[in-house]
Structure 1
Amino acid sequence: MTTRPAPPPRTVTVPVEGELDHESCEGLVREVTLHLAARPPVDMVRVDCAGMTLCDSMGLSALLQVRRDVDAAGRRLRLDHRPAHLDRLLHLTGTAEYLLADRPD
């Protein structure tokens, strides 16, 4: 019997450019949903926040939805290159621990 090495984890990065608000948040959720449905499956979704200039309550809601969807799919989520305004929002709203936590295996 020949054993094959496990394939490397598959990671996808979704960039956020500009404002994450009521006008753009559906696009983020839709893009992550498409990646979660892809074959071969994605192991980790990385949301690159380096280009984010603003995150309002709808943007926060979208990030929470992404977290729920990624967790439900059994994948991992990372919010990379978070600007200070996003970290401040996450801490003020009490969502930092939830959004930034690693999914338990």
Structure 2
Amino acid sequence: MDRGTVGSANRGRLQVEVRTEGRSEVVKPVGELDHHTADLLREPLERAVEQGRVRLVVDCSGLEFCDSTGLNVLLGARLKAEAAGGGVHLAGMLPVVARVFEITGAEAVFTVHDSLEAALDE
């Protein structure tokens, strides 16, 4: 199974790009983050923390949808990164995704940046 394209052609698709920039591990999910695709994001976030990359920047600019499962992936990554002395920074959220964080109150526990550049400059 191609884990990069879990789900149907119309729904449930997620691509995740990972790169290191300075002291940050930049993870960019593109598509829809839901119960079908959550592991595609969970795995690189957990792997980064296991490898000592604990400043995680999630570039949300390509994230078109995020449900509660996706939110829980990010919350879990936050706990693991903070336990290791780091944190999770969210950057460039589209309004539809930002609304999920606002409604649930999750925006209060993350460092949120308007852009990837702002997150990397901090």
Scaled by the length of structure 1, what TM-score is found? 0.78
Code of the aligned partner of 1:79:
L
In the TM superposition, 1:80-95 aligns within 5 A as 80-95=91-106
3-state SS of 1:50 partner? helix
In structure 2, what residue type is equivalent to 1:81? Answer: G
More helix per residue:
2
Counterpart of 2:110 in 1: which secondary structure?
helix
Superposition CA RMSD, Å? 1.5
1:96 — aligned with what? Answer: 107
State which of 29, 34, 48 in structure 2 corresponds to 1:21: 34
Matches of 1:32 and 1:99, distance apart in 2:
15
Q: CA deviation at 1:43?
A: 4.6
Distance between the aligned counterparts of 2:41 and 2:108, measured in 1? Answer: 21
Partner of 2:15: none
Unaligned 5+ runs, structure 1: 1-8
Number of residue pairs aligned between Structure 1 and Structure 2: 91
Contact kept in structure 1, 2:54 and 2:84, CA below 8 Å? no
Structure number with bigger Rg: 1
- Do residues 37 (structure 1) and 47 (structure 2) align? no
Q: What CA distance in whole angstroms lies between the structure 2 residues aligned with 1:66 and 1:56? A: 16
Task: Work out which structure has the larger RCO, using CA pairs closer than 8 Å and 6 or more positions apart in sequence.
Answer: 1
What's the TM-score, normalizing by structure 2? 0.68
